[in-house]
Structure 1
């Protein structure tokens, strides 16, 4: 994964681009077998096992930097993956983003994976992260985590040349966001509430021409923030994240990871730098990707795979024989 013109490195990069989407496809298919069955744990376990098996077959020297956590035996932090031959790659995984959405067959459940050159993905604790994201084409500093939601909306509306009431905001539907939602309603902003999955939410905001969403606001998981930043590096746009370290244990965990400034604002480039690959495959139907389709003789998946160096975004529909 280097911006090199040599044929060997180019071949390796192309192989990884193909491998990364094959891995999310397998994890999505495994999770989709539990779609709508009300069992979050089994859906997640199926996705984790399939992703782990697929990653371990890749010809690279992989290391998990964003993993499953909670003592999970597979895809845990610092676990080594792959055959050990080939490029040294940092791996960020979310085998099933939107576990509840999969169990209830709600929208935008995904299998997500990012690769970066060694040291390219930030280690973050298992905590929440405050986030704001918009798409490309705006002056730097249009939105900022130190501004209120109202100030960010007004600044974005001015930059876009529209009324505040024309802005569409994406927010996770969580009780913690009740004050934020009330503030947005007060100024007349349209809100798209997502039941789960803020990686998809950030990508929605970065693809506003396709999704109609202008900005993502709110808080979600810090590991998901790194994966979302990897996607933003590939798409373009602006994103800021700030860790919410509201307990002594979380502050200690951050410090042990080398994070000394607990109030720092991180740009997408801070969370995911260097050459980055990002892939996602739909598990359930959503506004970003269609979910897995099980036919009598084939399984159909819909995926997106992106690379930061080339800014290439590929939308892939694949048929897998049953």
Structure 2
């Protein structure tokens, strides 16, 4: 193979950016209206229209089961033809957040070379993530919460009490939250939106968030891992099925539930990532409208180029599904 065969076409970054912009605009029309299904349907319809226009031979490796649209399911072929790529998509991450106009709802798309994205089942995944500049293995899923915070604090040259940890506010995390608070660390609890939370660890200077810990969805974990790949962050993840149905899904996937996956094992090779804010947050502004049009804010990245772009766009016309 030549070097170019290990690289995605350059034009795909713009394609991914346009996809998430259009999808976020469609979802934002339902922001704060209290209707999650309507927001999800609008996002899915717009993303499907954008995927139909994609100049590539795409295969969805991580879809969105909550959308209940078989065209966004794993294995679906999309695009008009061209270079073969794999995709992970989340038309609306944080449907509840969007419906309630709460922070960190977003639309995200990941593109990679064929067989570069791990096709994770829709089960729970245990995750730990930190930003760039730290050695692999500094934090570990098999270390105690206190030991992880101590290791990170030492690497930062601070005390554990100076660390801020993000955890999904769920009953399953009760023991974890108690253990973290015993160290003196600050615990930021979120109701939803762990893709945004993991990404925020890569820009602690902007977000004040040092580390993410806990269980969330495996598809969201892969998308977040792809973002960290582009930003230089570190992540470990392990599939954590909580019932018989989830255990059967893991068994059918052929993946090892005991294995700890690094970010570059979840999303390998050349990665394109795009996420557009819907309701806004610490990293991405939400969709805004005024007399000049619709304004979007997108994080667009490419791992092979080492590029991280914050793109503010103005749209004179609504995207067409």
Residue of structure 1 equivalent to 2:159 = 163
4+ residue stretches of structure 1 with deviation over 3 A?
none
**In structure 2, do the counterparts of structure 1 residues 18 and 3 end up closer, same or farther at CA, with 3 Å as the change threshold?**
farther
Matched, 1:82 2:95: no
Deviation larger for 163-172 or 97-106 = 163-172
Q: CA deviation at 1:294?
A: 1.7
Q: TM-score, normalised by structure 2?
A: 0.94
Maintained 8 Å contact 1:284/1:291: yes
The whole-number CA distance in structure 1 between the counterparts of 2:108 and 2:48 is 13
The whole-number CA distance in structure 2 between the counterparts of 1:161 and 1:255 is 42
Q: Deviations over 1:264-289 (max 9, x none)?
A: 11100110001110100000021110
Deviation larger for 66-75 or 112-121 = 66-75
Q: TM-score, normalised by structure 1?
A: 0.94
Residue of structure 2 equivalent to 1:72 = 69
The whole-number CA distance in structure 2 between the counterparts of 1:246 and 1:176 is 11
The whole-number CA distance in structure 1 between the counterparts of 2:63 and 2:125 is 16
Residue of structure 2 equivalent to 1:55 = 51
Residue of structure 2 equivalent to 1:280 = 275
The whole-number CA distance in structure 2 between the counterparts of 1:168 and 1:42 is 35
Q: Deviations over 1:175-207 (max 9, x none)?
A: 222222121112110122222111111111111
Q: Deviations over 1:49-101 (max 9, x none)?
A: 101100110110000110122652331111110002x2101010000001100
Q: CA deviation at 1:3?
A: 5.2
Of residues 201, 210, 217, the one that matches 2:213 is: 217
Q: Deviations over 1:231-260 (max 9, x none)?
A: 01101121000111222322221222221x
Counting matched residue pairs gives 315
List aligned pairs for 1:250-261, cutoff 5 A.
250-259=246-255, 261=256
Residue of structure 2 equivalent to 1:101 = 97
Q: CA deviation at 1:297?
A: 4.3
Query: How large is the Cα RMSD of the aligned pairs?
Result: 1.6
Maintained 8 Å contact 2:111/2:272: yes
Stretches of structure 2 lacking an aligned partner (at least 5 in a row): none
**In structure 2, do the counterparts of structure 1 residues 292 and 3 end up closer, same or farther at CA, with 3 Å as the change threshold?**
farther
